[in-house]
């Protein structure tokens, strides 16, 4: 082959590649346009900081107190009168919040309140944290949709799988989410699981050698003191068949100051350790939450996100793409998107399952595989997580598959061992 012909072939291939690149660029144009105006915690940080200064003045907090997680817990806003000092509430809103509060507990950390735009009644953080009348009026759900009361073979234990289980270590959270799946356990008083029940749970794990993975949750596992958490993790480390430990927490989202140097140093002694977080909206990814997540990552802890699909908050494919990309930037791997459970008082947050499938389908191919979580429906009566997947395998013959790509192109694929 002459040099001239070879150069023409190279140029021809380059033109094909450039045409494909133009096609791919067109497929992301809508997202690039969306990102220009889409809010994130980083974009809004200056306004958030202004709101923090205002809340500090109202609560009489110093800069040091503001970043003290124990001060944040002590000064959670959980009464209409306190909330009125921070937000302008209409009389109807005051009445409705009080009404819901008579039925379901609510409480919000000052930090998480600062993320809310007080001028926006549909602010996604507000909808997750401040009660609305829909909660009170919903009688359609149940209080225990996963039948945890029937999957508890020992005190504080929930077991739905062969090789792993949950220890519910507390009912306390920095803020109480309006979509909470365990709102039946919240009560009116923060309460950690008794040492007696924790010992019973640990005994059950020690006596069942198939348990290799233990998740500490609640409530929020990081609401325990460093000392208590260290004791539980040490006890688990001393059980030979326990291979990994996990912590369930929203603290990096709602109370990032809980991630102290002392906590990180203690946790680093208990590797392998995984932390599952729940970021639901890009506004929650702020410089402070980033610092919390980076601190955990630096000491060797793997971070995953378990978002909940919530109507009016994050049920949009471009928003979910933005959230997952923001999370990767702070070392958090999108792990699950949960379909909202049928908990009483939360019906207004629920979407249809096909909407969730469509959202994940519009992630596949459009962003990194690392940014694509699994969409999960929790089966009724405690039968566990069930993945909801788009169909990419259309048909299967003796030696060929018919597949659908992320661009919805239908292609034949050879399926012969001799290829």
Same domain, 399 and 374: no
Same domain, 232 and 179: yes
What's the Cα-to-Cα distance from 203 to each of 141, 165, 199, 317, rounded to whole Å? 34, 13, 6, 45
How does pLDDT run along the chain (419 residues), one tens digit per residue?
Answer: 555 666 668 888 999 999 999 999 999 999 999 999 999 999 999 999 999 999 999 999 999 999 999 999 999 999 999 999 999 999 999 999 999 999 999 999 999 999 999 999 999 999 999 999 999 999 887 877 777 788 899 999 999 999 999 999 999 999 999 999 888 788 667 899 999 999 999 999 999 999 999 999 999 999 999 999 999 999 999 999 999 999 999 999 999 999 999 999 999 999 999 999 999 999 999 999 999 999 999 999 999 999 999 999 999 999 999 999 999 999 999 999 999 988 999 999 999 999 999 999 999 999 999 999 999 998 887 788 999 999 999 999 888 999 999 999 999 999 987 65
Same domain, 261 and 381: yes
How far apart CA 176 and CA 130 sit, in angstroms, is 9
pLDDT of residue 5: 62
Q: Domain for residue 295, yes or no?
A: yes
Residue 170 phi, psi (nearest 5)? -165, 160
Choose the final residue of a domain: 135, 162, 177: 135
pLDDT of residue 11: 84
Q: Domain for residue 141, yes or no?
A: no
CATH of residue 276: 3.20.20.70
pLDDT of residue 1: 52
Residue 341 phi, psi (nearest 5)? -80, 160
Same domain, 31 and 12: yes
Q: Domain for residue 143, yes or no?
A: no
Q: Domain for residue 73, yes or no?
A: yes
Same domain, 162 and 295: yes
Give the CB-side neighbour count of residue 254, counting CA atoms within 13 A.
25
Global pTM reads 0.94
Q: Which long-range contacts (CB under 8 A, 24 or more apart) does 120-125 make?
A: 122/312, 124/280, 124/281, 124/283, 124/312, 124/313, 124/314, 125/281, 125/283, 125/284
Same domain, 130 and 154: no
Q: Domain for residue 189, yes or no?
A: yes
Closest CA to 75 of 257, 249, 275: 257
How far apart CA 254 and CA 222 sit, in angstroms, is 12
Same domain, 172 and 315: yes
Same domain, 269 and 404: no
Same domain, 272 and 129: no
pLDDT of residue 57: 97
Looking at the structure of the chain, the number of domains it has is 4
Same domain, 257 and 352: yes
Choose the final residue of a domain: 135, 158, 178: 135
Residue pair 144/307 in contact by the 8 Å Cβ criterion: no
Same domain, 178 and 208: yes
Query: Does the CA dihedral 154-157-162-163 come out positive or negative?
Result: negative
- Which structural domain, as residue segments, surrounds residue 407? 391-419
Same domain, 373 and 400: no
pLDDT of residue 382: 79
Q: Domain for residue 142, yes or no?
A: no
Tokens coding 125: 């953080």
pLDDT of residue 190: 87
Q: Domain for residue 154, yes or no?
A: yes
How far apart CA 330 and CA 275 sit, in angstroms, is 14
Q: Domain for residue 415, yes or no?
A: yes
How far apart CA 52 and CA 86 sit, in angstroms, is 10
């Amino acid at each position: 082959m002459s040099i001239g012909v070879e150069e023409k072939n190279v140029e021809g291939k380059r033109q094909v590649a450039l045409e494909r690149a133009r096609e791919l660029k067109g497929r992301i144009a809508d997202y690039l346009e969306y990102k220009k105006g889409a809010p994130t915690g980083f974009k809004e940080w200056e306004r958030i900081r202004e709101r923090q200064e205002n809340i500090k003045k109202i609560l009489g907090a110093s800069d040091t107190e503001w970043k003290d997680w124990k001060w944040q817990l002590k000064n959670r806003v959980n009464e209409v009168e306190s909330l009125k000092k921070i937000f302008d509430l209409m009389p109807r809103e005051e009445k409705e919040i009080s009404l819901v509060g008579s039925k379901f507990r609510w409480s919000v950390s000052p930090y998480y309140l600062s993320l809310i735009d007080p001028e926006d009644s549909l602010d996604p953080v507000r909808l997750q944290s401040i009660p609305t009348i829909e909660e009170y009026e919903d009688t359609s759900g149940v209080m225990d949709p996963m039948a945890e009361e029937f999957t508890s073979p020992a005190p504080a234990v929930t077991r739905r799988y062969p090789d792993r289980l949950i220890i519910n270590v507390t009912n306390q959270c920095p803020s109480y989410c309006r979509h909470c799946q365990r709102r039946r356990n919240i009560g009116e008083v923060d309460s950690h699981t008794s040492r007696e029940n924790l010992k019973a749970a640990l005994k059950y794990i020690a006596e069942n050698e198939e348990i290799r993975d233990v998740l500490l949750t609640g409530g929020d596992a990081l609401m325990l003191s460093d000392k208590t958490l260290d004791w539980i993790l040490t006890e688990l480390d001393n059980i030979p068949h326990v291979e990994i430990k996990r912590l369930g927490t929203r603290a990096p989202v709602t109370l990032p100051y809980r991630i102290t140097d002392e906590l990180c140093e203690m946790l680093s002694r208990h590797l392998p350790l995984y932390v599952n977080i729940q970021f639901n909206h890009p506004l929650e990814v702020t410089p402070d939450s980033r610092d919390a997540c980076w601190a955990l990552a630096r000491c060797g802890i793997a971070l995953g996100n378990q978002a909940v699909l919530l109507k009016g908050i994050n049920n949009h494919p471009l928003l979910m793409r933005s959230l997952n990309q923001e999370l990767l930037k702070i070392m958090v791997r999108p792990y699950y998107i949960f379909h909202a459970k049928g908990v009483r008082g939360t019906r207004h947050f629920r979407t249809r399952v096909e909407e969730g499938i469509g959202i994940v389908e519009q992630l596949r191919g459009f962003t990194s595989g690392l940014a694509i979580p699994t969409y999960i429906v929790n089966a009724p009566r405690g039968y566990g997580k069930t993945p909801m997947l788009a169909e990419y395998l259309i048909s299967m013959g003796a030696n060929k598959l018919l597949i659908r790509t992320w661009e919805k192109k239908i292609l034949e694929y050879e399926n012969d061992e001799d290829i």
